Structures are given as C-alpha cells and as structure tokens.
C-alpha cells in the first residue's frame, strides 16, 4: 500500500514539475468603424513543449473573440532548419450578435529567431445588406 502511494506521489510530482510553455498575448484591440476597443492580456499555457489551450481575449457589448492556440514542433530528418522549428497555430473565433466567423493563422519560428509576432485579422459579418467589418489585432510572445 505504501509503495503504491509513494509511486503515485512521485508520478504526480514529476507531472507537475514539467516545464510549461506559454504564449503571452498582449495589446488586444478590436476595431469597427474606426472605434477601437481594448481586450484582455491573456496567456495560453501548455504543459511541456507541445499542446493546446483555449482562451478568451475579448468579450464586450455582444462581441466575443476566443482563440485556440496550438504549439508544436516538427521532426524532420531531411532539414535541420525545419527540425528546429516551432509552430504556433491560432484558430481565432469571432462571435457577434449570433453570427460566427473564424480564421486560422500559423506562425513559424526557426532556430534562434526571436519568438515574437503580431496578428491582424479582418472579419466581415454580413446580414442581408448590412455589412460589419471587424479587425482583431494582438501581439504574441512565445516563452
């Protein structure tokens, strides 16, 4: 009984002691018709070096921006440049007044390159003859 409990505690400690990868999102803005609204600074946290996290960057006045951040590496026997690459894929979901739209954006960081980037995505929501153009922007840093 004691050995089972000890093994369980050791494995739980080893799991929590793993390094965490973070993708910090700052300077979130949502622009519509020249009006700029500021969102929240958030962090996508992944246990270890690969995985995904979901987060809400903006939620005001019936407009919600969520993101699913996926972080992964690439194993390539033929290319040392690709072998050292880290990929960050964002699926950005926008929901406004019951209408939904999404964009998928991938950023690739090679080797010792600075892991900092800027995202800017334009969404067009059309309801009959009414068109809303909403631009979502944010900065990201992979730690």
Greatest CA separation for the chain: 70
102: in domain: yes
What is the predicted pLDDT for the residue at 6? 45
6: in domain: no
128: in domain: yes
**Token pair of 131 as six digits:** 């068109």
Domains held by the chain: number: 1
pTM value is 0.77
74: in domain: yes
Domain that holds residue 128: 20-142
33: left (phi over 0), alpha (psi -120 to 50) or beta: left
56: in domain: yes
34: in domain: yes
Alpha-carbon span 67 to 91, nearest angstrom:
6
Sign of the dihedral defined by the CA atoms of residues 80, 83, 86, 87, in that order:
positive
Contact of 40 with 56, CB cutoff 8 Å: yes
pLDDT in tens, the chain (143 residues): 555 544 444 444 444 445 588 989 999 999 999 999 999 999 988 887 788 999 999 999 899 999 998 998 876 666 666 667 888 998 999 999 889 999 999 998 887 788 899 999 999 999 889 899 999 999 999 88
36: in domain: yes
Q: Identify the CA nearest to 134 among candidates 91, 89, 100, 105.
A: 100
1: in domain: no
The SS3 assignment for 6 reads: helix
């Amino acid at each position: 009984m004691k050995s089972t409990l000890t093994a369980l505690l050791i494995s739980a400690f080893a799991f929590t002691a793993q390094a965490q990868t973070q993708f910090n999102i700052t300077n979130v803005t949502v622009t519509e018709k020249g009006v700029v609204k500021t969102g929240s600074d958030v962090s996508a946290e992944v246990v270890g070096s690969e995985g995904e996290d979901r987060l809400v960057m903006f939620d005001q006045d019936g407009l919600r921006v969520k993101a699913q951040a996926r972080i992964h590496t690439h194993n390539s026997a033929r290319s040392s440049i690709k072998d050292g690459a880290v990929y960050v894929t964002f699926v950005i979901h926008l929901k406004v007044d019951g209408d939904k739209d999404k964009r998928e954006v991938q950023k690739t960081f090679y080797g010792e390159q600075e892991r900092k980037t800027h995202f800017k995505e334009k969404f067009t929501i059309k309801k009959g003859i009414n068109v809303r153009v909403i631009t979502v922007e944010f900065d990201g840093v992979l730690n």
